[in-house]
Amino acid sequence: MKIIKRNGAEAVFDNEKIFAAVSKANEAVGEADRISEKDIKRITEKVTKKCDKLSRAVSVEEVQDMVEREIMATGAFTLAKTYITYRYTRELVRKSNTTDDKIISLIECNNEEVKQENSNKNPTVNSVQRDYMAGEVSKDITRRILLTPDIVKAHEEGLIHFHDADYFAQHMHNCDLVNLEDMLQNGTVISGTMIEKPHSFSTACNIATQIIAQVASNQYGGQSISLTHLAPFVKISREKIRRAVISELAEAGVTDEAIITKITEKRLRDEINRGVQCIQYQVVTLLTTNGQAPFITVFMYLGEAKDEETRADLALIIEEVLEQRIKGVKNEAGAWITPAFPKLIYVLEEDNVRPGSKYHYLTELAAKCTAKRMVPDYISEKIMLENKVDKNGEGHCYTCMGCRSFLTPYVDENGKPKYYGRFNQGVVTVNLVDIGLSAGGDMDKFREVFDERMELCHKALRARHERLKGTLSDAAPILWQYGALTRLPKGEPIDKYLYGGYSTLSLGYAGLWECVYALIGKKLTEPEGEELGLEIMRMLNSYTAKWKAEENIDYSLYGTPLESTTYKFAKCLQKRFGIVEGVTDKNYITNSYHVHVTEEIDAFDKLSLEAKFQALSPGGAISYVEVPDMQNNIPAVLGVMEYIYDHIMYAELNTKSDFCQMCGYDGEIIIEKDDDGKLVWECPNCHNRDQSKMNVARRTCGYIGTQYWNQGRTQEIQERVLHL
């Protein structure tokens, strides 16, 4: 059994410390108020049994709460008072300096919460530790100075989650939709060096990777680029190669047009191969200033091309991207594995989704890629045009800014739609499960608590907004001066881009499944549960609409991709409400509106149901279906993809892609319990449990993650059922 210490470190549970603490308090009271050694042993045993029954690591605070209750149960109220006073005094001492202790614990790699906050960060690497150290200092400043006590308290108690507090001290924002077209066509500046318009496709790809790295180092969320912005450089390369081929063949007396075209296209394909390879390998090998590869999404949308020639060239790029991703990248053992980045999004449209359509061959390739490497994810052009309608009444199809964070439709001062160059200011998430349990089944009470939490979220979101106000363009030149977002003069504030819908502020939500079950004992998959769930979604949207109308700030509802927070929320709920069957009996809560991972449901029924909720989550959402190995059943993958096109805006298929470096096993690496009850990853072939000697790829929140997950997320992965 494990215990989580106050600094986040995980240690072996030692009940002798309970006995010693109660004994010390017992010695501090008068003899008439003391209890016997036998009573102290009985208290120790009861608390130990209660902790063991929880089947999870308990916190020191939880243990001390149990001790207090057991002391009072014996009638020793003076002793209980002394114990509580001792706790309070020690808490004051600890609060004088908690940051140093946390930093030391993460450097020694035993901080369970901090070190596994991000599943794509290896906590043993110096650059990651440096980022975490800076993050702890930032969080300390945020708690003590930048946020009001009520927001801090709500965050610590798990009522809300103030995302990315480790970056809040700086004037940084969340996600970006990078205007790669502007930067490539009009030039940019990187680290003080002028980068002019590239003269070939391969050079454009190289510059794109440098832009990606710079952007990632100046914000903390995901970013997206479109392959459409690279497509015009295929034509430039074709013309350049063609001139060279004509010159070379002329020397040999060859002027045959067919031969010239054949050689030109072959060399062009080679250049496209090199350019795409540059993007793939540079992205996975780059380390940004926060100690990880850039959280980059690559968008593949044929309908975005401006003419048929560009569309055909874009198809060449998409084909190469998919071919290379199917192949994968080599790990340190030389085995081909699934990289986490770049994330790929493929748009399903009439020209590619049906058998016999012009570009269906790309869709077949995408299906093979999904079966082998878990990407791409799929956007339905058909459904998105219905869901994303601007004030001119026109629907639009565009990429998210990261794993699921979508901008809302926007029309600029010239009446034209604009998406590239926009961003998200930040996220605050409400714990819906806590509201549901706090109501105790009383819907009037639910609405009362709901209103209180919404105002708290609003206040926290405004803090994010106010933190960005007054930021000068000099803070991140690549973003504000050199085209990634806009081109402001030096020294100019970014304030105008924080209003009017240009950027978004995201109200996140988590645990809709458990919230509904806590209120009425029904699942979202049941008619009554579905009806209540949709009503709660409409309530959430009513608040964002109200705030937007009052403040001219684009608040948008966002289906939060909980990572470490799924564990934190679960622990806070268990501490506040105990174990409630179907609600708090897991070490995780469900992301956004998703059907619970243990629920037996058909893939198509799941997508149809979740489409209703996704339409009410305009700030971002993604649905998924859990599938077995599909490499030998591509027609089934294509069937799911066609269903996505007709029924839901944004969805993905979750497969598995693992490798054991100890024995070369490339099947599914499984989750087992160690002797202390901790969930660990294990190779079923050689029983290797060394995380550094394996490659595990799973989707956790939209992005592909690796094996650096906390216990809550690991349990959630273990309990997933197949939908196909």
- Give the catalytic positions in this structure: 174-175, 401, 403, 405, 424, 558, 563, 702
Rounded to 5°, the CA angle 7-702-178 comes to 100
CA distances from 548 to 10, 400, 455, 499 (A): 43, 21, 14, 10
CA distance 168 to 146: 9
The answer to whether 396 and 387 have CB atoms below 8 angstroms apart is: no
CA distances from 644 to 350, 388, 390, 605, 609 (A): 13, 17, 23, 11, 12
CA distance 551 to 466: 12
Q: Kindly state the tokens that stand for 583.
A: 């609600």
Alpha carbon 290 to chain centroid, angstroms: 15
CA distance 390 to 156: 38
Rg (CA), the chain: 27
Measured N-to-C along each axis, helices 711-718 and 565-577 cross at an angle, to the nearest 10 degrees, of 100
Question: Phi/psi class of residue 128: alpha, beta or left (left: φ > 0; alpha: ψ in -120 to 50)?
Answer: alpha
CA distance 96 to 450: 34
Question: Phi/psi class of residue 274: alpha, beta or left (left: φ > 0; alpha: ψ in -120 to 50)?
Answer: alpha
CA distance 668 to 720: 14
CA distance 139 to 137: 5
What's 409's DSSP letter?
P
The H or E element spanning position 698 is: strand 694-699
